[in-house]
Structure 1
Amino acid sequence: MSSPDSVVTGLYREHHAWLVHWLLRRVQNTADAADLAQDTFLRVMGRQTDDLMLLREPRAMLTTIGKGLVIDHWRRQDIERAYLETLAALPPAHAPSPEARQIALETLIRLDALLDDLKPAWRCALLWTRLEGITVAEVATRLNVSVATAERYLAKALRRCYEQVYAAV
């Protein structure tokens, strides 16, 4: 029986260069491709050794993990780009410090991931009430559901957010 380290080491040796090349075609940046390859293998290390030993198509698994990481990478880039555009529109006197910028950016990325995990109707109910300030009755109208259902959507969204935030603490 192979040890977990030897299984992952074998996968790494056999497929790392291929994975970096595959990722490079998607992200068009050598450093990002190398980072995403390392993140992919970190995720592989978190898997059960038995599952890895039975793996027939290691590149399919690496591709699946890599695709998810590439999507996350693109989303982070989009968020960062939008945040930097917003900052560029601020008067210099109101620009945050580099530390505050980094904290805000990390918070935005975490918030995006949290909102992405919500069901679409729940996400809409939460965002419309919080960002647009509309009432639950207006949410119900927009979603074409009863007020009670819109209230449940909002409650579920808030509960999920609460669970995610406080599960990390």
Structure 2
Amino acid sequence: MTDPIKDKDLVVDTLDVEELVQIPLWRIRLRVAWRSFRKNWALFSENKAGLLGLVIIAIFGIMAISHPILMATAWEGHEEGGKNVYDVRAGADSIIVEKTVVAEVTNPETEISQIEAQLQGSGVFIPEIGTTLMTPLANPAPPVWSGVPHPHILGTDPFGADIFSQL
């Protein structure tokens, strides 16, 4: 015979009627619900496909929660009518960076070659070496961890659309 105090299913058997009446009904229901949850979770956790589905649902939940945060921070500059608007298909305007025209590029974040500057312009204008130009950040933009400062966490596609918002 098992020890009724150690066996969780038989704990109620050791109590006399007076003690059982003193336990609130909500506590008994909570214990029954918790026991049922544990049994169902043990059954559910054996199924690999079920766990994969749960992970996918959790990822979508995290993305839904992160959307308002991203709209308030990462896409601050895209305001139309007082609201942040980000069009996934059209993307956003490229970020404008200041670069100096040089003969040979040593730092691509701050320098641009004379030929590349001419190609980005009208093609007729040949910029002088040492001239400072405002040029758009190239699309597709690299991810944030590449070191190039821009607000797109996973970078952009060739059209300038944010990859993270397409997920």
The structure that is strand-richer by fraction is: 2
TM range (shorter): under 0.3
The structure that is helix-richer by fraction is: 1
User: TM-score under structure 2 normalisation?
Assistant: 0.24
User: TM-score under structure 1 normalisation?
Assistant: 0.24
